[in-house]
Structures are given as C-alpha cells and as structure tokens.
Structure 1
Amino acid sequence: MRLSHALPAGLLALTLSACGGKAADSTLLRESFDSGDTYSRTVPGTPAQACEAARRTLLSQGYAIARADADAVEGNKNFQPRDDAHEQLVLRISCAARGDEALVFISAVQDRYALKKSPTSASVGVGALGSVSLPFGSNDDSLVKVASSTVQDADFYRRFFARLQQYLPAAKAGTPEPVPPVPAPQTPVPEPRPAAPLPPAAAPAAMPTATLPEPAPAEAVPAVDHAAEAADVPTPPADTPTPLN
C-alpha cells in the first residue's frame, strides 16, 4: 500500500521537473544580451546622414517607407509565398550619435498571415419558432495574423549594412551643412574722413597802377641878365635921402 501511494508521487515530481526543464530551454530564456554587433554598426557621418543612407537602402530594395526622420526610418515589404498565405517584413532603423560618428540600430520583424474562411449565416423568421440562423451559401475570406517573429539571421543584417555603406557618401553629399547663425546687424561707426586738401592760396590780384599824366614841359624862361639890369639902374647919390613910402 505504501509503495502504491509513493509511486504516483514520484511520477508527479518527475513530470514537474521535466516541465521545468522545458521552460528553462524556451526561446525567451535563451535570449542573451551578448556583445555581438548583429543588429548595430558604427558608420561615419552624422545620425541624419546615416538615416538618409538607410532610407535609400530600403528604397533600392523595394521597401515602402512608412517613416523617415533624422533619427529613425521604418519600411515594409510584402511577400506572397502561397495563394493562401501572406508575409510582411518590417524594418525599423534608429540612428544615434557616437562621438564624431553615427551608431545605426536595425530590427526586422516578419509577420505571417493566413487566409481564413468563415461561413456566413443568415437569420430566417419562422412564425412558430421565432428567428432561426441558417448557413449562407458564400464564405468570407480574410487574412489573419498567425505568426510574428524577429529576424535573427546575421547574414541578413550583414547584407543590409554592406548596402548601407554604399549610400553613405551620397547621403553625406546630399545633406546640407548647418548654416551658422547670422549675427545681428550692427550700426557701423563711420570712420573719420581725411580732411580735403585746401586749394593753393591764390596770389593777390595786382592793384592797377594809376597812370599819372605826364607833366607838360616847362616853357623856357629867358634868363635875366641881372648884371645888365644893375648897370641900367642909376645909383643914387649918397647925400640924397631915401624917400619914405
């Protein structure tokens, strides 16, 4: 009796340990943050130039761009492997500064859709039973997401970054350099102008010289012979008194 009771307990413990081992080996617990660079690369240039190169890389491979910013790019591409199946690949890229270079992160998610058929029913009113739902002849087909997983293929990301390097020079040349801010205009201080040279002093005008009339030539005055006059005048006698006027 004791052995029969102990046997189910041992089987239960073995079952639980087996379940715990499977949980430890699940995909979520196997995820590790290693030091690999599968999902990131350091590239030359600024984050805006790196994201512009990523956008051109997606466009060159037929991806539809859903978002394109200076630090993030998102694109998707559709696939139809079978008539009743549909797949979509979504790539999300982020760009961050790393010193004088840019650090590019990428993550690819693969979504799977399947075509599901759902029969359409119609309600028919019956007097005795009320409303009765009967199957309708046609079916509605719709795509339903059946799986979604992150792509972990290292070669897939390696090919993406190799293609990205080809567009970096073009992105760098196409991205305008930031324009330095224009300083506020300042009122220029007028420089002192050199004094204009004075014109040479004009020589004083010569005063007109008054022309004086030449004096008339003096008439010749006959010379008086005082000796003759003295001879003609009689000499009064000494005794004769001089008359008083």
Structure 2
Amino acid sequence: MTKLSVNINKIATLRNSRGGDLPNLVKVALDCERFGAEGITIHPRPDERHIRYQDVYDLKEIVTTEYNIEGNPTEGRFMEIVLANKPTQVTLVPDKIGAITSNAGWDTLAFKQTLQELVKTFQNEGIRVSIFVDPDPVMVEGAKETGTDRIELYTESYAQNYGQNREQAIAPFVAAAEKAQEMGLGLNAGHDLNLENLSYFQQNIPGLLEVSIGHALISDALYLGLENTIQMYKRQLIND
C-alpha cells in the first residue's frame, strides 16, 4: 500500500497567526501518527511564515514514522537544518523566496551538477533523497543521473484537469512513473491530491511508494475531524 505522509505546514500557519503555540505542532504530529499516518512532512521556508526552524528540531525528537523535510536547498538555512536533524528523507524543491506554494519541478538537466552535489551530501549523512519533478520522462532520466533515490511527481496539473478528463490528466504521470520504474527510481507524489482524485491516481501510477498531502487533508479535517480524515485518505490508497 502507498504510504501517506501528512504535511503539517497549514497547522503551523494557523498557530503563527496568533503568535503563540495553539495549535501545538508537536501534538498534531503525534496525533497524525497515532491516527495512522505513515509519515510527517514539513516544508520550512526562509521567512518562517509557517514552519519555524525550531519546529524542525522539536519534531525530530518525537516523529517515529518517516520524517520528510522538503524545501529549496539553496535558500535560507535549509542545508544546515536538514543536516543537523537527519530526517528519513529530504525532498528537494526549487521554490523561490516568497512563493506561496511549490509551483514547478526541477530542470534536472540544467541543474544536474548542483543536484548531484546535493544528493551526495545528503546521502553521505544517511538521508534518503527525493527530487521534485514535473511529469516528464526526460526530467526523470535527468533525475536518475543525479544519483537520487527517489523522485516526487508534482501533481498540480493532474488535480486541475482531473474533473475535465481524468484519463488525459493522468497520462503524463503514467509515462513518468513507467520511466522511473525503468530507471530504478523510487516514486513519490504530491500537490493538490485530495479525496476526490487520490484513489484514481494511486490505482493508475505504477510503483507509487508515498504521497505527501497537506492543504486538502487539513481542510477536510475541519469538517470531518483529523482522525477520520486520515483514515479516509488511507482508504483511497488501498488497491481494490
């Protein structure tokens, strides 16, 4: 079964809106694990508008499932923070400073040398590396040449087009996933996956190891409750 990693950035955003510690990020992470999540994902940004750098250390102390830290390794203190905490996985995302959310994958050809150096640095510390890429077999091939362990498919276009033509929306992701399998790369996915489109994606993408979901899952939890929502998402990841 594909693993569910819960991105808790939105919980941090809510906490920061009042400047205190409510809701408590550590408690939410523990609850997510207790309710069945197989991983916790965070995406610290240089302005600390949601995840604070201290959160990375606090969560390291308590997360017992997969700990996934994603972000741009060329911005802020990202490298320092990841190497100090040694999560299960680091996901490299080419965010620009000030970006509201991730909006593109790496050009793995243009940034091949940079990514190779980053991948080696993290792997030397025992950290699994995943590179955020668009659903393009050429970019998948480029990722393979960096030495990365996995790629994460950027699924926004799938989510946007799912309602109009889901077969057409998923086609490039199937091609990218098949290329990843051919090249021996592990496969993750994330961005705008939700209760409506997740099951179809999981059933049609070969070799899908993990999905990272935050915004939709936390939004659903406002209506459905966090425990129930996590269980509902997990059920979408079970093959019939």
* TM > 0.5: no
Taking structure 2 as the reference length, the TM-score comes to: 0.17
Structure with bigger strand share is 1
Higher alpha-carbon Rg: 1
Larger relative CO (CA 8 A, sep 6+): 1 or 2? 2
Taking structure 1 as the reference length, the TM-score comes to: 0.17
